[in-house]
């Protein structure tokens, strides 16, 4: 969280975030994603990679699902979050491939 704060001090147009919620308590992890949404709404482009895929998809304007280096899905984040094939294959909803 301190690293994000330091990065914001330079007033970036693009913020690259790799696992910003890693190791945080669930409430704090949720707050980090809310903050990412607010930054996006303030006009900062946010490129986010996060292990909390479902929550990240729900806030993403555009999302990409990568499996072993290959893009297997792309589209609006909310649409991918509601895709049953993706949920089953990648987000703990069973076993399968897209």
Has this prediction a pTM greater than 0.85? no
pLDDT band at 92; cut points 50, 70, 90? low
Over the stretch 11-66, which tens digit does the pLDDT of each residue have? 999 999 999 888 889 999 899 999 999 999 999 999 999 888 888 898 999 999 88
Give strand pairing partners of 90. none
pLDDT of 1 higher than 80: no
Structure tokens belonging to residue 85: 């094939």
Taking the C-alpha atoms of residue 69 and residue 79, their distance in angstroms, rounded to an integer, is: 22
């Amino acid at each position: 969280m301190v690293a994000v704060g330091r990065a914001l001090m330079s007033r970036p147009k693009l913020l690259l975030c790799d696992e910003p919620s890693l190791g945080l308590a669930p409430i704090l992890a949720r707050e980090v994603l809310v903050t990412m949404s607010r930054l996006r709404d303030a006009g900062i482009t946010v490129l986010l990679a996060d292990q909390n895929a479902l929550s990240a998809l729900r806030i993403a304007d555009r999302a990409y699902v990568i499996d072993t280096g290959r893009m297997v899905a792309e589209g609006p984040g909310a649409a991918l979050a509601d895709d049953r094939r993706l949920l089953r294959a990648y987000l703990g909803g069973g076993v399968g491939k897209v």
